A = this chain, B = another copy of it.
């Protein structure tokens, strides 16, 4: 028998090879996904395999114990120094000596699937744009006068099948010392994010033991969230959020656009501020993870269009007026130096996801990438709630998108006792419909406010305010407890029968918590707070309805709440408020920070980048700002939950009291009697 049958699992790929063929070689020839950084030199240990022995009727083969060559010196040395797990072999050293079944463990696969733990997490396929490659370069020769770089390119072509390679001048300046210090062996970080071109991002002498990292950044109007990710396995090594320093130029998007319009050079101020903040965040994350910031070689950005333009250094003025023309909508590949990032690797590559439209940004594209509504069999409404809400509606046949200007009320801004989600903030609320007494939970404690030990559990923080999810719950609970009517009016103490409803000028406010005894604040839900929430939720609902009109449907099959906020929201309370259309409550799920997840998927996979680019080109975008029906939907959605749309699924779960409080009071009682 001159050849042996080699079968790889789990792929099932098989082929016959001459005796003596290294397992790694067989894998490469069959297209089996077996990792290798050193290219088969027994240095990197990435090509570990688990040979199987015995009879495999499924494969029709019997594998004897000597189907592979015995351990060789390289493997023994590796095992001595670093330890090779029981049953493992180095694929580049073990040679085929007979029919054999070889299992490729997940950690030896380049394109391995990373199944993440939380329910809201999605599966990721590792296929990053940047890989480390160890390469042996021919020494220079006076009779063959090509440059060192050209010989490196040839080595990459021969050893790694990379055709066209470029390098920046800084890399070129480091090339000759690296080659000589490494004895004509170097490790390069090779970026292959665009078709047809590969860039050497960095170079190290010899075999580089270190790892390379990427940043997935969700650049929001209020918050910049960044995840430092290991580009080998997708692991998040550190996450951090920072306030977007542009807030000092304007709280929301339109006030920032106004700032740019009113102040010459104002756009550049904002550009510089946000770039500096991102640079600082990169440094902080590297410090936190204990790595050098130079090891950050890729950054992926998702953001709304105004943030997108300000990041790129483009004046967003056109985004402030119809027809809301983007300077550029397609995905972009940039370099760190284009954005003036000084902390990360000099050659760090940047990928910015495509924008869907002038009001629907790369953040919505990222949500689409994470949630893939275009692969859904039933009709799914995906809502990413932030200062703007991005709304996607679709299924396999078609996906629609719009954005809606909800404002920051859902994030606790514009609310009298509102605050960020931080220790001390009320995040959950229940109100007894009979006694009208509230109980609540505070971030930092797992106890409800009426449970024993609550006061001690919050002794360090106190009760400081109410965050986004808390405000939604309290407003919904007030509606359920008959403290708030469908029109959004808070009843007076007289109308509601509780002294917690206090008169504030001509309107009433509900006292959620009185902390004055402990030196804390009185936390009131004012009529103004209710109005702010009504405006926000009407905008959100109206956007969803507009998409439903376009899709010619009057209900959706399921709802996905995305956004950091979506993770904490109670679907029942959201529906009581009428934020989202009526669906069975168990068909509402939270997708966590889907935009951030989309950014991480794009960071870890070149294929995903091409996917989101294709997906975005197929999404139909609806412009809320010019659609007359948006205004109609907005007005009708002002009521809680809604003036006309029925909520049959909601009503199977809750009872909505038929109260009504006019400003003069009294009317509520009359209507209650009907």
A170–B337 Cα distance when bound, in Å, is 13
Decide if A313 is an interface residue (CB 8 Å cutoff).
yes
- CB-CB contacts below 8 Å: A308-352 with B: 312-315, 317-318, 322-330, 334, 338-339
Stretch in A77-85, A144-152, A219-227, A502-510 touching the partner: A144-152
Cβ contacts A132-170/B at 8 Å (1 or 0 each): 000000001111011111100000000000000000111
Q: Which residue of B lies closest to A316 (CB)?
A: B176
Q: In the docked arrangement, what's the CA distance between A355 and B140, Å?
A: 15
Most buried by B among A172, A176, A326: A176
A575: CB under 8 A from chain B? no
Please state if A328 and B141 are interface contacts (CB–CB under 8 Å). Answer: no
Does A553 touch B at the CB level, under 8 Å? Answer: no
Indicate whether A210 reaches chain B with its CB closer than 8 angstroms: no
Cβ–Cβ contact B327 & A142, under 8 A: no
Assess the A147–B329 pair: CB atoms within 8 A.
yes
- Tell me if A623 and B143 are in contact (CB < 8 A): yes
Residues in B with CB closer than 8 Å to A441 are: none
- Asked if B326 and A148 sit within 8 Å, CB to CB, the answer is yes
B140 touches A323 (CB 8 A): yes
By a CB distance below 8 angstroms, the chain B residues around A143 are: 623
Contacting pair B314 A176 (CB below 8 A): yes
Q: Is the beta-carbon distance between A150 and B314 smaller than 8 angstroms? A: no
Given A145-B358, A196-B196, A621-B145, CB of A169 within 8 Å of CB of B329 = no
- Residue among B176, B329, B626 making CB contact with A327, cutoff 8 Å: B176
B329 x A145 contact (CB < 8 A): yes
Q: Which B residues touch A323, using CB under 8 A? A: 140-142
Interface bracket on A? 35 or more
Quote the shortest CB–CB distance from A352 to chain B (angstroms): 11
Chain B residue at minimal CB-CB distance from A179: B325
Beta-carbon contact of A312 and B142 below 8 Å: no
B150 touches A328 (CB 8 A): yes
**Cα–Cα distance between A147 and B314 once the two chains are bound (Å):** 12
- Residues in B whose Cβ lies below 8 Å from that of A366: none
Most-contacted residue by chain B among A327, A329, A357, A621 (CB, 10 A): A327
A56 to chain B: closest CB distance in Å?
48
Complex alpha-carbon distance, A147 and B360, angstroms: 12
* A175 at the binding interface (Cβ < 8 Å): yes
Q: Point out the residues of chain B lying under 8 angstroms from A150, CB to CB.
A: 328-330
Interfacial chain B residues near A330, Cβ < 8 Å: 147, 149-150
Q: Does A356 contact B (CB under 8 A)?
A: yes
CB distance B141 to A327 under 8 Å? no
> A118 at the A/B interface (Cβ < 8 Å)?
no
| Interface contact A313-B173, CB-CB below 8 Å | yes
Give, as a whole number of angstroms, the nearest-CB distance from A354 to chain B: 9
- Residues of B with C-beta under 8 A to A625: 142
Smallest Cβ-Cβ distance to A151: which chain B residue: B325
Closest Cβ–Cβ distance, residue A81 to chain B (whole Å): 34
Contact with B along A587-613 (1 / 0, CB 8 A): 000000000000000000000000000
Q: Is the CB of B176 within 8 A of A142?
A: no
How many identical chains are in the complex?
2
A40 to B356, CA, bound (A): 34
**Which listed residue, B173, B322, B327, B357, touches A175 by the CB 8 Å rule?**
B327
| Inter-subunit contact A169/B312 (CB<8 Å) | yes
CA distance A621 to B621 in the complex (A): 61
Q: Which residues of chain A (233-262) have a CB below 8 Å from chain B?
A: none
Contact between A325 and B140, CB atoms less than 8 A apart: yes
Complex CA–CA separation, A140 to B625 (angstroms): 15
CB nearest to A329 among chain B residues: B147
B338 touches A147 (CB 8 A): no
Of B147, B312, B326, B358, the residue contacting A326 (CB under 8 A) is B147
**Chain B residues near A142 (CB-CB < 8 A):** 322-324, 358, 623, 625-626
Contacts of A196 in B (CB 8 A): 196
Q: How far is the CA of A68 from the CA of B172 in the complex (A)?
A: 59
| B145 A314 Cβ-Cβ under 8 A | no
| B147 with A325: CB separation less than 8 A | yes
A201-222 residues with Cβ-Cβ distance < 8 A to B are: none
Task: Among B172, B314, B339, B626, point to the contact of A328 (Cβ < 8 A).
Answer: B172
Q: A145-B356, A147-B330, A623-B143 are in contact. Are A169 and B325 (CB under 8 A)?
A: no
Best-buried of A142, A313, A317, A338 by chain B (most CB within 10 Å): A142
Task: Say how far A150's CB is from chain B's closest CB, in angstroms.
Answer: 6
Closest B residue to A146 by CB, please name it.
B329
> Contact at B315–A145, with CB atoms within 8 Å?
no
- Report A460-480 CB contacts with B as 1/0, cut-off 8 Å: 000000000000000000000
Within 8 A of B (CB), among A250-284: none
Q: Which residues of B contact A172 (CB under 8 A)?
A: 312-314, 327-328
Which residues of A from 13 to 68 have beta carbons under 8 Å from B? none
Query: In the docked arrangement, what's the CA distance between A315 and B179, Å?
Result: 14
Q: In the complex, what's the smallest C-beta–C-beta distance from A400 to chain B, in angstroms? A: 12
B314-A355 in contact (CB<8A): no
- Closest Cβ of chain B to A154, distance in Å, is 11
> What separation, in Å, do the CA atoms of A173 and B316 have in the docked complex?
10
CB contacts (< 8 Å) of A357 on chain B: these are 145
Q: List 7 A-B contacts (CB under 8 A).
A: A143-B623, A145-B358, A147-B330, A148-B327, A172-B313, A172-B314, A172-B327
| Residues on A facing B (Cβ under 8 Å) | 140-143, 145-150, 168-170, 172-173, 175-177, 196, 312-315, 317-318, 322-330, 334, 338-339, 355-358, 360, 621, 623, 625-626
Would you list the 7 A-B pairs with minimal beta carbon distance, nearest first?
A: A145-B357, A147-B329, A140-B325, A147-B326, A149-B328, A147-B328, A142-B323
Given A142-B626, A145-B329, A176-B317, 12 further pairs, Cβ under 8 A: A142-B324, A145-B326, A145-B356, A145-B360, A145-B623, A146-B329, A147-B325, A147-B326, A147-B328, A148-B318, A149-B328, A176-B318
